Structure 1
Amino acid sequence: MNRVRRLLTRSRPLFWLYLAGPALVGAVYAADSPSTLTSPVVIGIVCYFLLPANLFLYGVNDVFDADVDAENPKKEGIETRYEGERLTIVAVVASAIVGFALVPVLSPPATYYLGGFLFLGAAYSVPPIRFKTRPLLDSVSNGLYVLPAGVTYATIAGTHPPALAVLGGWFWAMGMHTFSAIPDIDPDRQAGIRTTATVLGQPAALGYCVACWALAAVTFGFLDVRIGALLLVYPLIVGAIATASVTVSRAYWWFPAVNSTVGMVLTLGGLWRVVYGS
């Protein structure tokens, strides 16, 4: 039970909705009736991105970051260090296999989004690509968090999601990644790892996050002004952090609640369209 508990901790339960949430949003905005959302395929995809995909993504990250995480204080509480547990390797491989097992029930466009997720999820941490040690590419590669929405949307609609939605979501993910890397600036520098956050430093990195999130809001605004206005909450939060006596390390743990709330509003808006047609 202790090993299973550590494995679940490794999957970052606090962040489960970072993958499952986009999958649900993509499904809601592709659906043309409530019954579509309860189909076994849609439920299966969302469940995959709720736990197995998180085990894959964070398990790979922890295995290849074991030496770096030895000095990272974030691994002493909500997160956990990888210490050579064989169960983690088994879980990562099994989660990837489950992902590939979804391919037969996906539409052809959806397979591109799933393949992109699995590739970027591994390439972010695994040498020789290891995007996480390549400034700017570490941020850009984290658009992978948008890809679950592409999987569900394309599976239901049979076509790619709107390009503006993908681009806006990608900007959002870039900002979120760099913001989450700011608390790791000192441990990463001590370990000799170069990231967008370590190169910019905290003040400039916060400015980069504001720019990414503002671009996300503007891009979504061209698609739907209401979604664009909703996403303005992110640069406003950074402004509040910069002017208040709140550390980024503390504010970082607010974002699961912030992201879940924004995702809930997006989902409810999509459900309103499905049920009432407007």
Structure 2
Amino acid sequence: MRLTPKEVFFLSRPRFWMYVLGTFLVGVMSSGNLFVYDTTTTILLIVFGIFFSLPANVFIYGVNDIYDYQTDIYNEKKVKYESVLEPEKHKSLWWIMGVLLIPFVPFFFMVNVYAKLALTVFLFTGLFYSAAPIRAKSKPPLDVLFSAIIYVSPALVGFFITGNTNIQWLAVIGGLIWAFGMQTYSAIPDIEADEKAGVHTLATMLGEKKALWFCLLAYLISASIGFYFVGVIAISFGLIYVAIVLLSINNKSKLFKYYTYFPLINVASGAVLFFYMFFQDMF
């Protein structure tokens, strides 16, 4: 059974595109002024900006939907907020992922070794977060580690494509810790479905209350690290994330509603960070 273009588009979770495309753009901006690169570098940045839109998101969420079918059928969030991909469409999706990814293979060999390594890490974690034999999402704490790497590694790709290798690893660690919190919070509404399907995550291991406190700690640490690099911006958005977690702790019945706000908050925080660095480089 074939997938329609509309199904493929929504399968890619458009509201989540900026989780990888946004970090790619932030990585590019953190390396310096956008207008100083040669033509080849500029073309590569555009190409991989396209890659981290529809193709990369179809890849990571497509693999997820294929291997999560037995869990998704128990998950109210998937049924009402997203969709469950029927097994009859899995083969078609593998072909579509190949068609979307293959055109970027030649460009993989055009980037420097550091960007190649970052891309390889992205593809590896994007695949084996959900796929067997590793299926990291069911082996805590690999679930939060792999998920965090999926969303932070595009920033390294963007940074390294520019030719800059002088990376601030503390900032990368801060991004990973923020993603630990994001992954765990997003897994909390799935606890019941995951337990029914026998899937173990950090959220199921900790339980709802302890998982929320873990998220709170992760956001506090990442905001503190962010303050070192971008000052009050990190604290401002850190307070928003902390407030949502505190609201969730005190009103667990609305946790899923709060969860639906995260894409907007994440896009807003990413945009502010991007333009902060853009104008900093310009002036």
Instruction: Give the structure-2-normalised TM-score.
Output: 0.90
- Unaligned ranges ≥5, structure 2: none
Matched to 2:198, the amino acid is G
Select 2:129's aligned residue among 124, 127, 134. Answer: 124
Q: Partner residue of 1:214?
A: 220
Could you say which residue in structure 1 is the equivalent of 2:76? Answer: 73
RMSD: 2.1
TM-score, scaled to structure 1? 0.92
| 1:268 corresponds to which of 253, 270, 275 | 275
Unaligned segments of structure 1, at least 5 residues? none
Aligned to 2:10: 9
Provide the C-alpha distance between the structure 2 equivalents of 1:253 and 1:164, rounded to a whole number of angstroms.
Answer: 29
Paired letter, 2:281? V
- 1:180-195 to structure 2, matched below 5 A, reads 180-195=186-201
2-side partners of 1:157 and 1:223: how far apart?
Answer: 21
Q: Deviations over 1:191-249 (max 9, x none)?
A: 11111111111111110111111121122233343353244132232123333576111
Paired position in structure 2 for 1:61: 64
Which moves more between the two structures, 61-70 or 252-261? 61-70
- 1:82 and 2:85 are equivalent in the alignment: yes
Which is further off, 226-235 or 163-172?
226-235
One-letter identity of the residue aligned with 2:247: A
In the alignment, residue 250 of structure 2 is paired with which amino acid? T
Greater shift, 114-123 or 93-102, is seen at: 93-102
For the residues of structure 2 that align with 1:179 and 1:225, how far apart are their CA atoms?
A: 25
Q: Shift of residue 37 of structure 1?
A: 10
Residue 21 of structure 2 corresponds to which residue in structure 1? 20
**Cα–Cα, structure 1 residues 99 and 169, in superposed 2: closer, same or farther, change >3 Å?**
farther
Summarize the Cα distance change of 1:2–1:121 in structure 2 as closer, same or farther, 3 Å threshold: closer
One-letter code of the match for 1:209?
Answer: C
Structure 2 distance, partners of 1:206, 1:220, is 21
CA contact (8 A) 1:154 1:160 kept: no
Matched residues in 2 for 1:160 and 1:214: separation?
26
Identify which of 41, 66, 78 aligns with 2:44.
Answer: 41
* Residue of structure 2 equivalent to 1:240: 247
Match of 1:51 in 2: 54
Corresponding residue for residue 161 of structure 2:
155
Number of corresponding residues? 276
- The superposition leaves residues 124-159 of structure 1 with CA deviations (integer Å, 9 ceiling, x where unpaired) of 111121101112110111122011110001111431
Identical amino acids, percent of aligned pairs: 33
Q: Which moved more, 1:94-103 or 1:20-29?
A: 94-103
Q: Distance in 2 between matches of 1:2 and 1:20?
A: 24
Secondary structure of 1:247's partner?
helix
| 1:102 partnered with 2:107 | yes
SS at match of 1:105: coil
Larger deviation: 99-108 or 128-137? 99-108
Query: 1:172 and 2:178 equivalent?
Result: yes
The change in CA–CA distance for 1:122 and 1:201 in structure 2 (over 3 A counts) is same
Partner Cα distance (2:137, 2:8) in 1: 22
- Preserved contact between residue 244 and residue 258 of structure 2 (Cα < 8 Å): no
**1:221 corresponds to which letter in structure 2?**
F
Separation in 2, partners of 1:224, 1:136: 29
Letter in 1 for 2:151: Y
Contact 1:109 1:160 in 2 (8 A): no
Counterpart of 1:29 in structure 2 is 30
1:96 positional shift: 4.0
